[in-house]
Amino acid sequence: MEREVVLAKTTKDKIIEYIIYFFIYSFLGWLIETIYALFVHGYFVKRGFLFGPICPIYGFGAVLLLMATKKLYKKPFIKFLIATIAFTLFEYMVSFILEMLFGLRWWDYSNDFLNIQGRVSLLYSIFWGIIGVILLEKLHPYIQDKIQKITKGNTNHLQGLVCISLIIILLLDTTFSAIKYLK
C-alpha cells in the first residue's frame, strides 16, 4: 500500500515537472522566434498563434523529446535522429492542423530545398535535430538543475497551483486566439 502512494506521488511530481518544462520551452521558443524575426525583418513581429509570449509547439516538442530520449545517455547521434524525425513529423502535423482549422499558414518552406508541401524542409529538419541535441545535452540539464533548486523547498500544492494557473491562462489565450483567427 505504501509503495502505491510513493508511485502516485512520483507520477504527480513528474506531471508537474513536465508542465513546468512545457511552459519554459514554449516561452524560450517564442523568444527564439521573436529574435529571429527581429533580425530578419528589422522590427518586432508577433510570432505564433497565441496572444501571449509562448509558442506551444516548442513546449510540446521539447517535452515529447525529453520523454522519448530519457534513456539515451551519451548517444547524441541517436538523439539527433530522434529529434530530427520527431520535430519534422510534429511540425508537419501542426502545420496541417492549423491550416485545416483556420485556413492560414504560420510558416511556409515552399522555396526551400527538399520541402514537403511547404510544411517542412530538409534544412529545418536538420536545424531541429541540432536544436534537439543542444536542448538535451546542454540546455535541459541546466534548466532542470535550476528548477529543482527553485522548487526544492516548495510544496507540491504550490507547484500544482502554479501549473493550474498557467494552464488556465493558456486555455483562455488559446480560446481568444482561436476566436480571433476564426473571424
Closest CA to 55 of 73, 36, 29, 37: 29
Residue 96 has pLDDT above 90, yes or no: yes
Radius of gyration of the chain (CA): 18
pLDDT, average across residues 132-147: 93
Could you report the per-residue pLDDT of 5-35, keeping only the tens digit for each?
444 457 888 899 999 999 999 999 999 989 9
How far apart are alpha carbons 48 and 36 in whole angstroms?
A: 13
Could you report the per-residue pLDDT of 38-66, keeping only the tens digit for each?
998 898 888 888 999 999 999 999 999 99
Share of the chain above pLDDT 90, in %: 61
